[in-house]
Structures are given as C-alpha cells and as structure tokens.
A = this chain, B = another copy of it.
Amino acid sequence: MNHDIITMDHGSGGGATSRLIEELLVPAFHNPQLSALGDGALLELSGPLVFSTDSFVIDPVFFPGGDIGKLAVCGTVNDVAMCGGTPRYLSLGFILEEGFPLESLRRIVSSIADTAADCGVSIVTGDTKVVEKGRGDGIYINTSGIGTLTWPGLSPANLKPGDKVILSGTMGDHGTAVMLARSGLLEGGDLRSDCQPLCRLAASVLEAGGVRVLRDPTRGGVATTLNEFVDGTNLSIELEEDTLPVRPAVHSACEMLGLDPLYCANEGKMLAVVDPQQAEAALAALRSTPGGEDAAIIGTVTDRYPGKVILNTCLGGGRVLTRLTGAQLPRIC
C-alpha cells in the first residue's frame, strides 16, 4: 500500500479506515462527541434549532483565499447564520478519490479544524468513502450543521416597500478568484476568494435590529438571491448601480472572463434587507465588524415592478436582472 495517497482500503470500513479516523481526523477535531466514535454524536441541545446541509465540489480544491475545507465549514455555518441561528455542531462527510494525496487531505483537515474553531462549532460526527480513480475528482465534502435559533422570524415574506437592501461587502471575489485560478491566469494577481464565516457579521446586524431577512449570495450571486426574495410577490427590488461594491481587480477580471459580478458567487458576503428606519444603524454595525468594512446600502424594496429585480444604471436606464439561467461558473463551491 502506498502510504502517501488514499487507497480503496481507506473506504473499506476496516483497519485502514480506522487508522485514518483515529490518527488524522479525531486528533484534528478533538471533542468528546467525536472521540466516542459511535454511529452518531450525542448533543445536549434544546429549543428551536436550525439545520442545514451543503456539499462542496469546488475545482480547484486549493484556491487563493481558501480551500475546500475552509469553504465546507463556512458554507454550512453561514447557512445556519442566515436563518438566525447560532451555529453549534457540524457533521463532515468525505468522498475521496483513490490516489488523492494524503498530504492534501491533511492540509484540508487542518483548515476545517481552524475554521470550525474560529466559528465556535464542533465537528461531532463524520463519514469517509473512497471511490475508484476516475469516479470522483480528488475530494468532495458534505457538511451538515445544527444551530440554536437565536433570532427567529427572518423571512423574505417580511419585506415591505421602502426597506433597504444592504450588502456586507464587495461582490464577485470568490467567483473570479476561482475562475482565474482554474484558468491558470492568476499568477501575480491580487484576487482572493472572500471565503469567511458570516456568524459574527450576522450577529452584529441582527443585534442592531430591524432585519427582515438575511441570505448569503453564493451560487448565482447577488442578482439570483434577490430574485428569490421577490419571485411571485407584488414587490420589486431596485438596485443602484453606482452603490454596488466591486473591487477594481474583480471588475477587470469579470471583463476579461465575460462575467457579471452580480451573478458571481460570493462565499463571505451577506444580503440583509432592513427596516429603512434602522438601515443606517445596521450599516454602521456591519462596517464596525471585521469582514464588513465595505458594507453598503445597494438598493430599496419597491412595488413598481412586481416580482422583478431592477438595476438602475449609472447612465440612467433600468435593466431587469433575472435569475442566473445557465451554468456561468460550474463547480464554484
């Protein structure tokens, strides 16, 4: 057996599986629930909970600003946070391709452990499967997360005309960084994924008050997420193009790649729709929290274009932003 790569034996349920779990995974995530190594973890929790799941198939596995491990923790922690939950526990499922370097797995596991610690969540239960070479792509990860519901009642159904739409920072950093890394054009560039946990940003804006709904605009980007808010309702969302925060490097990369930052995936940004009376306070709360320095009010809920998202452009026109229709950025998360 080659000890430097994943072999089919690591997925057998036998000795190699046990060694992988006991020598790599349990020490990295050490906590009493995981160490018990039963079929599941016992959790002391009560009250209403938030439960979310995400699988991660990003290509490449390592990218500027993060890796699939950091992404897998942030993705699910952020989904729990967007529901008003305080993330507490994660499960972790690996689907490894035969031949995947153990050294890469170690780096990813370390990244998972660091990010989980940063978010205050514990990895309490897991599973590892191995598929033959050519039946996977290195590593796929699923995380499922449980949080306690700290801020109930968030929903797109709360939206009212006049509400302000706040974006917690710049758009398109993740999508462009991954696309450029994939095309091999990133050398020397300063693009980095925004992959980060949103639990602290979510808590800061929710404590400020007046929040109708939170959502992280990942696949499909800001335009697709805002469409999900107003789809089938009598409300519209109007964005002001000159307020949209986009880094110059992302702007250039989007032009080069033929992408629109409004449809690019983000992995550390949050949309908050907020009562107009409390929008400035919410904005200030975000800007004073690490990772929210570039937060901006980017639009308003109106009733002028029922069910639609409109971009009021710098030139004075209006453009309908539909949902993403094709696979602009495959395997971005």
Residues of A within 8 A of B (CB): 7-9, 11-18, 36-57, 78-80, 82-83, 85, 89, 91-95, 124-127, 129-132, 134-137, 140, 142, 144-147, 149, 152, 154-155, 215-216, 218-220, 224, 228, 265, 322-331, 333
List, sorted by A's number, 6 A–B pairs whose CB atoms are closer than 8 Å: A14-B324, A15-B325, A39-B80, A53-B91, A93-B142, A132-B330
CB distance from A41 to the nearest CB of B (A): 5
* A265 contact set on B, CB distance < 8 A: 13
How many copies of this chain sit in the oligomeric assembly? Answer: 2
* A95 contact set on B, CB distance < 8 A: 55, 57, 95, 140
CB distance from A93 to the nearest CB of B (A): 4
CB distance from A12 to the nearest CB of B (A): 4
Tell me which of B89, B224, B333 contacts A51 (CB under 8 A): B89
**Given contacts A91-B53, A146-B146, A48 and B39 within 8 Å (CB-CB):** no
Do the beta carbons of B51 and A131 come within 8 Å of each other?
A: no
* A130 contact set on B, CB distance < 8 A: 327, 330
* A129 contact set on B, CB distance < 8 A: 55-57, 140, 331, 333
Known A53-B93, A135-B137, A140-B140; further 13 A-B contacts with Cβ < 8 A: A11-B330, A12-B219, A12-B326, A12-B330, A38-B154, A39-B83, A40-B80, A40-B82, A40-B85, A40-B147, A43-B51, A55-B95, A127-B142
**Given contacts A12-B220, A14-B323, A132-B330, A52 and B79 within 8 Å (CB-CB):** no
Q: How far is the CA of A216 from the CA of B38 in the complex (A)?
A: 11
Q: How far is the CA of A235 from the CA of B137 in the complex (A)?
A: 42
Tell me which of B13, B52, B55, B215 contacts A219 (CB under 8 A): B13
Q: How far is the CA of A322 from the CA of B12 in the complex (A)?
A: 14
Do the beta carbons of A51 and B324 come within 8 Å of each other?
A: no
* A48 contact set on B, CB distance < 8 A: 42-45
Do the beta carbons of A134 and B132 come within 8 Å of each other?
A: no
Q: How far is the CA of A174 from the CA of B230 in the complex (A)?
A: 48
